[in-house]
Amino acid sequence: MFPVVYPIILAVILFSLGIVGVLLRKNAIVILMSLELMFNAANLVFITFANYYQNLDGQVFIIFVMVTAAAEVAVGLALIVDIFRSKKTISIDEMHSLKG
Amino acid sequence: MESGQIFNLVPWIVFLPLIGLAVNILLGRRLGETFSGVVASLASGLTFVVAVLLAAALASAPNARVVSPWEWISIGELTVRWAFRVDTLSVVMMLVVSLVGTLIHVYSIGYMHNDVRHNGDPGRYTRFFIFMNLFIAAMMILVSADNFLMMFVGWEGVGLCSYLLIGFWYEKGKNGTGNADAAKKAFITNRIGDFGLLIALFLIFGYFGSLQFDEVFSQAANVAAAHPGVMLLITLAMLLGVTGKSAQIPLFVWLPDAMAGPTPVSALIHAATMVTAGVYLVARSTAFYSVVPVAQTVVIWVGTLTALLAATIALGQYDIKKVLAYSTISQLGFMVAAVGMGAMVAGMFHLVTHAFFKGLLFLAAGSVIQGMERGMHGSHGSAETDPQDMRNMGGLRKKMPLTYWVYLIGGLALSGIAPLAGFFSKDEILGAAYNGHAAVFALLVITAFLTAFYMGRQLVMVFFGKPFTAAAEHASESPRVVTIPLIILALLSVLGGVLNLPGVHTLEHWLAHTLGEGEPAGFIWLVAGLSFFLALLGLGAAWFIYSRRVQKAEADDPLKKPLGALFTGMEHKWWVDEFYQALILNPYKAFAQFMADPVDLGVIDRVGGGLAAGTRTLAEGLRKLENGYVRSYALWMVVGLLAIMMYLFLS
């Protein structure tokens, strides 16, 4: 067995990439993908510790997360399609009419 | 009906006028003037019938009855019933109020018919009778109450009606607000008095644990022994209420201004009934005043000084109603002095006779004023003359013979000419003063002389000589609906003395059942002779001076030259109003201005405004964060997340 810290480091890297992606990219689809990256970083941590403690709870939990993520992507993509229809762009910075 | 059941009729003395006013509210405007007047008069007349029945029932069994239909207030220790008290004292008041009230209602049918047209708003006719009936109801609550709180309801009720009726022509008067100002003055001045009465009520409840008359008065001696200071405070605070309602020093200033109301109002409320409520209150509270000699002395002096001061002012007035108003204040002073001396019966006797002859005088003055108004309309092209200024009158004896005769009777009764009503009642007060109050006696005798003098002055100025203006030249007699009540009141003014003739003392024995058996004041020939002589002297002097005055309208008074500054003082009411203006009103207004400008605008508004401006500035800053860019929100979320993690790691 490899040390438990390896997958954790991998998860941290993935999560950070996700954050940076969300913060820096303008393309809405890329942002959705970055979000997915963060979900899976979290999933990786779950599954690593489930394996480490020989406990099924973590594995059960990632099923829920994946279902939620799938639903979220479905809604998110639908929104993006609609936004594209009205604005002819999916740049997230073009959508700032809700401001103080 | 058995006599016991008759007493159960007593709530009707309040209900009947209330029914009358309800009918008038609902139907009066639609069914016209005659209907309104008749309904209101009928309501008042039936009240009188009930009062007569009560008096008859009481004559056979004179102890007090309490008819208590409902429990009114019950909070903790305080239990107040809505209870009517029928005893010899309250029945006297009921009879006077309803009798004089009914006559004045009938008179008003004719008087107001002209008044609403003269003032150009006939639609207000019904309203007048609604207010009048409301007044009768409130006054009945006042006099028939069995506890102080219910009496206070009536006390405030009559004050309200007084306010409403003084301001009946609220858009008229000086600068268009004169009448409204007079109404406000009456109301606010009375409020000061009522404050005193309320304090007295609180103290009574605090120290006696009850507000019911019998319970309170039976403990008066005990409480006076245990807390003499409290008892003094109660009686003096009550006296403040009396000075407000009965127009005594220092709160008498509202009554002359109250003449802004229509004349029947002046007769009913501001001469015959409401203003005597204070006298009634002191008579009712005999048990209090008899155990506090200091308070008695104060009451005597308030009454005596008021009587004298008002009589001097009456000398210098030209307005026919103002003379009568100051005369009323003066006579009320007589009554207050009498009840202060413990001569409750004399005070009540004078109250009754005064209601007759002063009611008569006011109504007759109303007849004179309307005669003048008719004269003004009759003499085309004549300049606008003030129909109330006595200098514009003169010679009305021939134009209005009936009014002249009843006015003469009223005037002689007020002056104290035997055997008219005023002679006997005033004489009893003077007799009471003669027995032990030398200074008071002297002042009251002077006042009696002045009374005869100013009445003589008024009679001569109004009715004798030759007409001074075209209005007086063309004046004409009033219609019968106006003169018949005058005749009845004149008869009462002649015969009123029978109520308590020396040696017979009907009223004395009647009231003894309530006020306690007293020594009937003997008839003192010296006092009676002196007051009769002075009355004649006063009338004679007035005749001598005023019948040879300059025969010109708006001429200076013949007394102005010989009396000089003294007369100027009388003419200007001794500057009491100006004094109050300078002493109380102006500082109060300055204080109000200070509270409004520097305090309210400067401090309170600035605090509120500052809070609002601060919130706004904060919001202006915060709205910059809400820039609409999703990525910036996400950045803040990450920053927040990092901050929370830092905190968790570091702690």
Sign of torsion over alpha carbons B122, B124, B125, B126: positive
Question: According to the model, what pLDDT value does residue B20 have?
Answer: 94
Question: According to the model, what pLDDT value does residue B523 have?
Answer: 74
Residues of chain B neighbouring A22 (CB-CB closer than 8 A): 631, 634
Q: Is B567 left (phi over 0), alpha (psi -120 to 50) or beta?
A: alpha
Residues of chain A neighbouring B630 (CB-CB closer than 8 A): 92, 95-96
**Tens of pLDDT, residues B571-593:** 888 898 899 989 988 999 999 99
pLDDT interval class at B301 (50, 70, 90): very high
Q: Name which of A15, A23, A29, A79 to mutate to probe chain B: the one with the most chain B Cβ atoms within 10 A of its Cβ.
A: A23
Q: pTM of the entire structure?
A: 0.81
Whose tokens are 């009707």? That residue is: B12
Question: According to the model, what pLDDT value does residue A99 have?
Answer: 77
| CA distances (Å), origin B634, targets A20, A31, A71, A78, B629 | 10, 11, 21, 21, 9
> Is residue B500's pLDDT more than 90?
no
Mean pLDDT across the stretch B345-366? 94
Lowest mean pLDDT among B384-398, B431-445, B529-543: B384-398
pLDDT interval class at B552 (50, 70, 90): low
Question: According to the model, what pLDDT value does residue A60 have?
Answer: 93
Tokens of B378: 């009759």
**Tens of pLDDT, residues B400-416:** 999 999 999 999 999 99
Are the Cβ atoms of A22 and B631 closer than 8 angstroms? yes
Question: According to the model, what pLDDT value does residue B2 have?
Answer: 60
**CB-based contacts of B356, cutoff 8 Å, min separation 6:** B100, B272, B413, B421, B489, B492, B493, B496
Asked whether B247 and B254 are in contact (CB, 8 A), the reply is yes
Q: Which of B625, B628, B634 is facing A97, going by the closest CB pair?
A: B628
> Is residue B4's pLDDT more than 80?
no
Angle at B91 between CA B3 and CA B222, to 5 degrees: 105
Neighbours of B105 (CB within 10 A): 28
Question: According to the model, what pLDDT value does residue B554 have?
Answer: 59
Which value does ipTM take for this structure?
Answer: 0.85
pLDDT interval class at B642 (50, 70, 90): very high
Per-residue three-class SS string for B540-552:
HHHHHHHCCCCCC
> Is residue B517's pLDDT more than 70?
no
pLDDT interval class at A29 (50, 70, 90): very high
> Is residue B518's pLDDT more than 70?
no
Asked whether B465 and B547 are in contact (CB, 8 A), the reply is yes
* Backbone torsions φ then ψ of B177, nearest 5 degrees: -125, 5
Mean pLDDT across the stretch B2-11? 80
Q: Which of A19, A22, A96 is facing B629, going by the closest CB pair?
A: A96
Asked whether B362 and B355 are in contact (CB, 8 A), the reply is no
Mean pLDDT of the residues in chain B: 90
Residue B369 has, within 13 A of its CA and on its CB side, a CA count of 22
Question: According to the model, what pLDDT value does residue B465 have?
Answer: 83
What is the C-alpha to C-alpha distance for residues B316 and B638, in angstroms, rounded to an integer?
A: 93
> Is residue B279's pLDDT more than 80?
yes
**CB-based contacts of B156, cutoff 8 Å, min separation 6:** B194
Q: Give the 3-state secondary structure percentages of chain A, helix then strand then coil, rounded to 5.
A: 80, 0, 20
Whose tokens are 């008065």? That residue is: B217
End-to-end Cα spacing for chain A: 54
**CB-based contacts of B604, cutoff 8 Å, min separation 6:** none
Tokens of B30: 């639609």
What is the C-alpha to C-alpha distance for residues B328 and B271, in angstroms, rounded to an integer?
A: 6
Question: According to the model, what pLDDT value does residue B48 have?
Answer: 95
Q: Which of B622, B625, B631 is facing A92, going by the closest CB pair?
A: B631
Lowest mean pLDDT among B284-293, B330-339, B498-507: B498-507
Q: Name which of B626, B631, B636 to mutate to probe chain A: the one with the most chain A Cβ atoms within 10 A of its Cβ.
A: B631
Q: How many CB pairs under 8 A join A and B?
A: 31
**Tens of pLDDT, residues B260-278:** 999 999 999 999 999 999 9
> Is residue B382's pLDDT more than 60?
no
In the DSSP assignment, the letter for residue B169 is: T
Tokens of B225: 């022994």
Mean pLDDT across the stretch B233-257? 93
**Tens of pLDDT, residues B501-514:** 877 788 888 888 88
Percent of residues, chain B, with pLDDT higher than 70: 96
Question: According to the model, what pLDDT value does residue B629 have?
Answer: 85
Mean pLDDT across the stretch A48-54? 91
End-to-end Cα spacing for chain B: 97
Report the range out of B142-156, B464-478, B512-526, B539-553 with the highest average pLDDT: B142-156
Are the Cβ atoms of B628 and A98 closer than 8 angstroms? yes
Q: Is B227 exposed, middle or buried (0-12, 13-18, 19+ CB in 10 A)?
A: middle
Question: According to the model, what pLDDT value does residue B615 have?
Answer: 95
What is the C-alpha to C-alpha distance for residues B456 and B407, in angstroms, rounded to an integer?
A: 11
pLDDT interval class at B383 (50, 70, 90): low
Helix/strand/coil for B121: coil
Question: According to the model, what pLDDT value does residue B236 have?
Answer: 94
Question: According to the model, what pLDDT value does residue B565 have?
Answer: 81
Per-residue buried b or exposed e for B336-366, using 16+ beta carbons within 10 Å of the residue's own CB: bbbbbbbbbbbbbbbbbbbbbbbbbbbbbbb
> Is residue B533's pLDDT more than 60?
yes
Are the Cβ atoms of B627 and A99 closer than 8 angstroms? yes
Q: pLDDT higher for B106 or B519?
A: B106
User: Min CA distance, B619 vs chain A (Å)?
Assistant: 10
Interface membership of B626 toward A (CB under 8 Å): yes
Neighbours of B550 (CB within 10 A): 10
Relative orientation angle of helices B178-208 and B148-166, to the nearest 10 degrees:
180
Percent of residues, chain B, with pLDDT higher than 90: 61
Mean pLDDT of the residues in chain A: 91
Q: pLDDT higher for B382 or B392?
A: B392
Question: According to the model, what pLDDT value does residue B357 have?
Answer: 94
B contact residues 115-174, partner A, Cβ 8 Å cutoff: none
Asked whether A19 and A36 are in contact (CB, 8 A), the reply is no
